[in-house]
Structure 1
Amino acid sequence: MPQADGTLTSLAGRLAAQYVRMSTDYQQYSTENQKLAIAEFAAIQGVSIVATYEDAGKSGVTLKGRPGLLQLLQDAQAPTHAFSLVLVYDVSRWGRFQDTDESAHYEYLCRQAGVQVVYCAETFSYDGGAVATLMKTLKRAMAGEYSRELSRKVFTGQYRLAERGFWQGAAPGYGLQRVLVDSDGNVKGPLHHREHKSIQTDRVIVTPGDEREVALVRRIYDWYVCQGVGCRRIADRLNAFGICNAHGRPWNPQHVTDILSSEKYVGTNVYARTSRKLNGNWHRNPPSEWARSEGAFPPLVDHATFDAAERIRTNRTQNLSDDEILKRLSDFVRSSDVVSAKEIDRARAMPAGKTYSVRFGCIKNAYALVGYEPGYHIGGPEVFRASRAAQQECIGKTTAALTALGHRVDISADETTIRVDDELVIRFAVRPILHYDRRGPRWRVRWPTYSSPDFLVVLRLDSAFETPIDFYIFPRGSLVPGYDFSLSIRGGSSEPFEMFRFPDERILLELTARTRMEAFDGSQSPDSNRRHPDSPDSSA
């Protein structure tokens, strides 16, 4: 019943939602154990649980990346919420926020909407009294300090392992591969893309990878050191050869520079050049704080070649001030017909587009400092995440449907392309809407120049970046490689591309289906008796 100060002492007969979260703490905090403890508490108090919000494998130091809690806060503040209680196992499951006020703020949003947050496993009461408020604040501070202490311990452990020569990153880079070893140093096998060790005592080392990639790394050093070919020309040469980088994408000068400047190619393991703690911003550490282990793995190039490349690179590098590179950007936007990060990279007198991103946070900030406004509105991180999610959903649905029909489907390392039965290559691309200043909304389409798929699937997203409007299935030869095409929102205005437009991706199932062939004389070929998994039985 409500007291004079508005607090509640009785929970019997009320409807509740439960919130559970687990990162990688301990088994005691598994979501199932939390649900059991909350169910026991609800049974004792006479509370009925009508909804469950769950964040499995999510960190509690921030609200970002926790869709369960975000949805809970949204539903709790809705005018007609279906519950008046939120049951949480303890304060740490609500979050290990580094600012205790942030944790209290989200609880306050619920309470302001008439929804009370109750921590089932805490020793303090839930009546909203002064003692409970004080204990709750203390628990929030303890939860945040636990994350800070754990972060320090994890970083120190990784730092010590890096000093011993063990790899602490994900992708090792072009020409290198990760290899899993046990506690005694015995090799267990290579680790492929997105694979991780599963036993805590195992370690990861780096060894030379594919022989062709190793040979190409040495060729890059030879071009740069012995033949005097610059990074931009090397990137253009590799792209002209149709060679992709470690991510399956075209080369740019920065990729070449990374190979020429990374000590891992002479066998030195370097860790903690940059660091980020508790989901904060990345920052560069001084060399004195790096973990270094020379001779940690077999080198791809010798020290003499690497040092020669470093001397050339140092002599060519111009350490321009912020004012100088902004002046060059200002001159560039006034004299160029097309202004983009790609065109900036192409201009020989300009610093790389990445330089502006590093110096000023992003290229848009640099544009603003020189008084330039792009002709279209560039999407932010939320647009990229929405596009990536739509792309992965389409690939997942297509792959599942093709696999169910008996096809073999392989997904590329960058998860943008699938190969069906080792024969048909399909690349997926998502195009969000672009709002131009003097034209209606458009979607840009370009045939990839660094790969040649059999089909290019283009998903057009709506202005909310949530739902695909339609699908364009472009076969090879229908678009000129490297040329930007524009699709309008007005029906029938995108001719001659209307013939390639479909409502969903099911057309791919028809395009990948096998068809019986006949010999030149009209008789069935010997392979015509083979029945495809989705073909009907033609026997009488």
Structure 2
Amino acid sequence: MQQAAAASVSFAGTSAAQYVRMSTDHQQYSIGNQKQAIADFAAARNIAVIATYEDAGKSGVTIRGRPALLRLLQDVQSGTHAFSVVLVYDVSRWGRFQDVDESAHYEYMCRQAGVQVVYCAEEFASDRGAAASLMKALKRAMAGEYSRELSRKVFVGQCRLARLGFWQGAAPGYGLQRMLVDPAGTVKGLLREREHKSIQTDRVIVAPGGEHEVALVRRIYDWYIHHGVGCRRIADRLNAFGICNAHGRPWNPQLVTDILGNEKYAGTNVYARTSRKLDADWQRNPPSEWARSEGAFPPLIDRATFDAAQTIRTHRTQFLSDEELLTRLGEFVRFSDVVRADEIDRAPTLPAGKTYSRRFGSIQNAYARVGYEPDYRGATPEVFRATRSALQRCIEETTDGLVASGHCVDISVDGTTIRVDDELVIRFVARMILHYDRRSPRWRVRWPTYASPDLFVILRLDSAFETPLDVYVFPRGSLVPGDDLSLSIRSGSGEPFDMFRFPDGSILLELAARTNVEAFDGSLSSHSSHRYPGDADSRPESPDQEQAPAAGDCR
């Protein structure tokens, strides 16, 4: 008790900022309730609240989409803040991060800048003792687990409703419309674009749209099946007729493909073909995990017509070998004045650009297979080739070093991302110099918004585009996804990102190294021991032990 009392800190007479956040799941966590609880806490301790950072209707699973928290962290790190305490209602309002270390990291960033984060509704609100730290870590884990469990329950419930024939998506697409029904199945009315149900027990079904839209969907299938008109030509024909799509915009081949390939036009409700859990990336689910409901709503075309369209679509690309795809692409790049992904989509003798990306990892890989070097953001082929070579050398050196240290390394198809020990995802990019003006050369930086890695490695190249100047290693959460930033040549001059700068990629070997962790009884945890090549006990068990690869064979 004396130790706990000694660890307690008094904030009387200090200035504080309050951070409040509300998602859409709990009304007891409303912004007003949080502010009132924080005000009572501050008044009882003579704390003056001078600033408010508010994220209303924001999920706490990730820092993305939470501008108030990002602004708070930026203000704290800038050193211009006038407060020394941040008051938060409880641990869950700070965030339900799936990695407890991420939650602790943002709190540590504040504490490192001299700002203490205090949770008003927790018993350890102003306690810095060991027991409080342990309880705080437990609360962080519980907050993250709550989101995971809630996400799982919501997904299972949505799949169950989809199997019953109820619509779980947003806009149903061209030729279809959403209808609101009560629990007894009685139609209550039409749901227009951006409208949602207001009663939880109500459900949404799909019905055929206007007669002219239904007729056009059937005409698209007729053109495609009986007249041999491809998706590009169908889109051009519709645009020439002045017909707009469901959003009032011109048609493109992908929209036509969606109509020809979606079972909803045959009356089948299909859900969960793709899914996204919390802040993870979207992933394609195998057909065995789809939620299906045959005859869920009146079909616009019969099943035989839909199956005929699928047969044509399958034979156009699936049975083309890699050699045939590359041969067609090689002829295209030799005789075309403009080589771009949209031009590939328009070419009648070529499949869509996505087909090349799916087969070869990326369209750039397909270009390389046919000996074509595209113009990369205005760079010459020589510069593009030198940039790519420098990036490949960096990735190979890092991969070889990790394998030599006993790590298992998997490389993505496009060769820009590696996964270490099936745990750590590292993505590499090379950045060329950009002269915004004569005095300030810079390098562009943007955190990837799709397939977000754990570490984002940026290789800065000099004006010759061959020699790497240095390496920046950004952990997840250090950059705002999607925002364009720039790195200055004036390294070491107080630049905000200097802490992430390293002379070479050897820092990645240190970051990936395993560390022995003490258990509560003081012994070393068996789960944290290093793994070495040839050490069979250090590798996970394989169903077929004879075929389990050694650590050095995982690339």
Q: TM-score, normalised by structure 2?
A: 0.64
* Counterpart in the other structure of 1:216: 216
* Counterpart in the other structure of 2:515: none
SS at match of 1:123: coil
Where in structure 2 are the equivalents of 1:161-172 lying within 5 Å? 161-172=161-172
Judge conservation of contact 1:375–1:436 (CA < 8 Å) in 2: no
* Counterpart in the other structure of 1:385: none
* Counterpart in the other structure of 1:372: 374
* Counterpart in the other structure of 1:353: 353
Q: Distance in 2 between matches of 1:239 and 1:208?
A: 23
Judge conservation of contact 2:84–2:116 (CA < 8 Å) in 1: yes
Cα distance, 1:115–1:219 mapped onto 2, change above 3 Å: same
Q: Distance in 2 between matches of 1:138 and 1:368?
A: 51
Cα distance, 1:184–1:356 mapped onto 2, change above 3 Å: same
Judge conservation of contact 1:376–1:436 (CA < 8 Å) in 2: no
Give the C-alpha shift of residue 189 in structure 1: 1.1
The one-letter amino acid of 1:310's match is Q
* Counterpart in the other structure of 1:151: 151
Q: Distance in 1 between matches of 2:38 and 2:115?
A: 17
Deviations 1:472-530 (Å, cap 9, x if unpaired)?
A: xxxxxxxxxxxxxxxxxxxxxxxxxxxxxxxxxxxxxxxxxxxxxxxxxxxxxxxxxxx
The one-letter amino acid of 1:236's match is D
Judge conservation of contact 1:328–1:350 (CA < 8 Å) in 2: yes
* Counterpart in the other structure of 2:178: 178
Q: Distance in 2 between matches of 1:298 and 1:149?
A: 35
Judge conservation of contact 1:333–1:372 (CA < 8 Å) in 2: no
The one-letter amino acid of 1:301's match is I
Judge conservation of contact 1:126–1:132 (CA < 8 Å) in 2: no
The one-letter amino acid of 2:220's match is I
Give the C-alpha shift of residue 355 in structure 1: 3.3
Give the C-alpha shift of residue 249 in structure 1: 2.5
Give the C-alpha shift of residue 296 in structure 1: 0.6
Where in structure 2 are the equivalents of 1:10-409 lying within 5 Å? 10-320=10-320, 332-333=332-333, 335-356=335-356, 371-376=373-378
Q: Distance in 1 between matches of 2:341 and 2:151?
A: 36
The one-letter amino acid of 2:337's match is D
- Uncovered stretches (5+) of structure 1, i.e. residues with no partner: 378-434, 441-463, 467-540
Q: Distance in 2 between matches of 1:185 and 1:157?
A: 18
Cα distance, 1:211–1:357 mapped onto 2, change above 3 Å: farther
Q: Distance in 1 between matches of 2:203 and 2:76?
A: 45
The one-letter amino acid of 1:254's match is Q
Judge conservation of contact 1:18–1:53 (CA < 8 Å) in 2: yes
Deviations 1:351-386 (Å, cap 9, x if unpaired)?
A: 313335556787678668865343449xxxxxxxxx
Cα distance, 1:326–1:20 mapped onto 2, change above 3 Å: farther
Q: Distance in 1 between matches of 2:326 and 2:82?
A: 55
Q: Distance in 1 between matches of 2:145 and 2:354?
A: 36
Q: Distance in 2 between matches of 1:191 and 1:300?
A: 19
The one-letter amino acid of 1:282's match is W
The one-letter amino acid of 1:292's match is R
Cα distance, 1:104–1:292 mapped onto 2, change above 3 Å: same
Give the C-alpha shift of residue 224 in structure 1: 1.6
Q: Distance in 2 between matches of 1:122 and 1:309?
A: 60
Cα distance, 1:219–1:137 mapped onto 2, change above 3 Å: same
The one-letter amino acid of 1:304's match is A
The one-letter amino acid of 1:120's match is C
Q: Distance in 2 between matches of 1:55 and 1:210?
A: 41
Give the C-alpha shift of residue 348 in structure 1: 2.6
Q: Distance in 1 between matches of 2:360 and 2:78?
A: 40
Q: Distance in 1 between matches of 2:283 and 2:202?
A: 29
Q: Distance in 2 between matches of 1:257 and 1:118?
A: 54
Alignment RMSD (CA, Å): 3.0
* Counterpart in the other structure of 1:398: none
Q: Distance in 2 between matches of 1:254 and 1:198?
A: 33
The one-letter amino acid of 1:111's match is R
Cα distance, 1:126–1:162 mapped onto 2, change above 3 Å: same
Cα distance, 1:70–1:361 mapped onto 2, change above 3 Å: farther
The one-letter amino acid of 2:47's match is V
Give the C-alpha shift of residue 266 in structure 1: 1.1
Give the C-alpha shift of residue 334 in structure 1: 5.5
Judge conservation of contact 2:22–2:93 (CA < 8 Å) in 1: yes
Q: Distance in 1 between matches of 2:223 and 2:334?
A: 35
Q: Distance in 1 between matches of 2:324 and 2:63?
A: 40
Q: Percent identity?
A: 74
Cα distance, 1:19–1:182 mapped onto 2, change above 3 Å: same
- Uncovered stretches (5+) of structure 2, i.e. residues with no partner: 380-432, 439-482, 486-555
Give the C-alpha shift of residue 126 in structure 1: 2.3
Judge conservation of contact 2:16–2:86 (CA < 8 Å) in 1: yes
Cα distance, 1:328–1:229 mapped onto 2, change above 3 Å: closer
Q: Distance in 1 between matches of 2:34 and 2:366?
A: 48
Judge conservation of contact 1:367–1:373 (CA < 8 Å) in 2: no
Where in structure 2 are the equivalents of 1:433-448 lying within 5 Å? none
Q: Distance in 1 between matches of 2:348 and 2:38?
A: 64
Judge conservation of contact 2:317–2:351 (CA < 8 Å) in 1: no
Q: Distance in 1 between matches of 2:288 and 2:305?
A: 25
Deviations 1:205-247 (Å, cap 9, x if unpaired)?
A: 0000122111100111111222222222211211111212223
Cα distance, 1:333–1:96 mapped onto 2, change above 3 Å: farther
Moved more, 77-86 or 222-231: 222-231
* Counterpart in the other structure of 1:9: 9
The one-letter amino acid of 2:137's match is T
Deviations 1:185-217 (Å, cap 9, x if unpaired)?
A: 111111111111111101000000122111100
The one-letter amino acid of 2:374's match is Y
Judge conservation of contact 1:322–1:359 (CA < 8 Å) in 2: yes
* Counterpart in the other structure of 1:524: none
SS at match of 2:345: helix
Deviations 1:433-465 (Å, cap 9, x if unpaired)?
A: xx999xx9xxxxxxxxxxxxxxxxxxxxxxx98
Judge conservation of contact 1:91–1:119 (CA < 8 Å) in 2: yes
The one-letter amino acid of 1:374's match is Y
Q: TM-score, normalised by structure 1?
A: 0.66
Aligned positions, number: 382
Moved more, 321-330 or 41-50: 321-330
